[in-house]
Amino acid sequence: MGIIRGRNLRNGLLFVSPWIFGFIAFQVYPIFYSLRLSFTRYSGFGPPTPIGLDNFRRLFSDPLLWKAAYNTLYYTALAVPIGVVVAIVLALAMNQKVREVAVYRALLYVPSILPIFALSFVWVVFSNPRYGLLNHLSRLVGLPVIDWIGDPRWSKLSLVLLAQLGAGGPALIFLAGLRAIPTELFESAEIDGAGPIRRFFRITLPLITPVILYDIILGLSLGLQVFTQAYVIASTGPNTMVGPDNSLMFYVLYVYRNAFQFSQMGYASALVWVLFMVSLALALIVFRWAKSWVHYEIE
């Protein structure tokens, strides 16, 4: 028995060894390496100069960093709840029992696999205050015309709306959750006189809470690393504002500029470590909070 166990351990480790190597080389090591770099001044060439905690001290007196952090948290705080609600609404629609439902599912899902760098261009044209369809439709129904990208009050919400084109992916996961709910539960609730809204809040919603938690955690991670949309739409040069009034200067974009445009690899490493810590802390808070509302009992 011991021989088999030993052989299995050896074989198992051999099979997963590519992952172990990749995990250490591309994830663990870089994270610690950037911790080391965060205590140095480093342009990317020559040896890093140790400067102690200077980079971290600098964080506190860098107004643009605070702007970027504020923008990123603002974006994430909007994108996560809106994303969850939109995905659930799409999933409920995709779960309707109509014959051609597969067609609707496909149409709602496809935008989520399209490249965000192209969708960003489409969004610029679509939301243009003068020539875009969005504001044209607003004018037709009497809604105010909004400069979705050019107005700092709206630009972040505008990117949140753009992100909703990707809701079809999470919606399919919610759909799988919806279909796993035993139909008897709905039938007995219907006999008890519960209407569709009551059934949704009493049965459906509690039973998909594990998926909601998953979507929140994933959305949090994606929200904190928002980059491409802002870069494509608003970052025109290394020293320019990102969006009106820097309203689209996001955290990772600021890291990008410091590391790759200003050759401040040490400072960028400190920034990245702060992001790492904040992400972990937020994820832990969400998991803690989730204990009070996630239902695990029914399989």
Which of 2-10, 57-65, 197-205, 238-246 is the region at the interface with other proteins (rule: CB under 8 A)? Answer: 2-10
- Scanning residues 10 to 29, which ones bind other proteins (CB under 8 A)? 11-23, 25-27, 29
Give whichever of 154 and 227 is closer to other proteins, judged by the CB atom.
Answer: 227
205 near other proteins (CB under 8 A):
no
Give whichever of 53 and 114 is closer to other proteins, judged by the CB atom.
Answer: 114
Nearest distance, CB of residue 2 and other proteins, angstroms: 12
Does residue 250 contact residue 227 with C-beta atoms inside 8 Å? yes
Which of 32-40, 60-68, 77-85, 182-190 is the region at the interface with other proteins (rule: CB under 8 A)? Answer: 32-40
Q: Map the chain to HEC letters.
A: CHHHHHHHHHHHHHHHHHHHHHHHHHHHHHHHHHHHHCCEECCCCCCCEECCCHHHHHHHCCHHHHHHHHHHHHHHHHHHHHHHHHHHHHHHHHCCCCCCHHHHHHHHHHHHHCCHHHHHHHHHHHCCCCCCHHHHHHHHHCCCCCCCCCCCCCHHHHHHHHHHHHCHHHHHHHHHHHHCCCHHHHHHHHHCCCCHHHHHHHHHHHHCHHHHHHHHHHHHHHHHCCCHHHHHHHECCCCCCECHHHCCCCHHHHHHHHHHHCCCHHHHHHHHHHHHHHHHHHHHHHHHHHCCCCCCCCC
Give whichever of 85 and 101 is closer to other proteins, judged by the CB atom.
Answer: 101
Which of 46, 131, 183, 192 touches other proteins by CB under 8 A?
Answer: 131
Q: Computed from CA positions of residues 184, 186, 190, 192, in that sequence, does the dihedral angle turn out positive or negative?
A: positive
Give whichever of 136 and 199 is closer to other proteins, judged by the CB atom.
Answer: 136
- Scanning residues 238 to 267, which ones bind other proteins (CB under 8 A)? 252, 255-256, 259-260, 265
Which of 51, 73, 82, 275 touches other proteins by CB under 8 A?
Answer: 275
37 near other proteins (CB under 8 A):
yes
206 near other proteins (CB under 8 A):
no
30 near other proteins (CB under 8 A):
yes
Distance CA 174, CA 67 (A): 34
110 near other proteins (CB under 8 A):
yes
Give whichever of 85 and 176 is closer to other proteins, judged by the CB atom.
Answer: 176
160 near other proteins (CB under 8 A):
no
- Scanning residues 81 to 100, which ones bind other proteins (CB under 8 A)? 90, 93, 96-99
Nearest distance, CB of residue 294 and other proteins, angstroms: 9
104 near other proteins (CB under 8 A):
yes
For residues 216-229, one letter each, b for 16 or more C-beta atoms within 10 angstroms of the residue's C-beta and e for the rest, the string is: bbebbeebbbbbeb
Which of 51-59, 61-69, 240-248, 275-283 is the region at the interface with other proteins (rule: CB under 8 A)? Answer: 275-283
106 near other proteins (CB under 8 A):
yes
101 near other proteins (CB under 8 A):
yes
155 near other proteins (CB under 8 A):
no
Q: Which amino acid is at 199?
A: R
224 near other proteins (CB under 8 A):
yes
75 near other proteins (CB under 8 A):
no
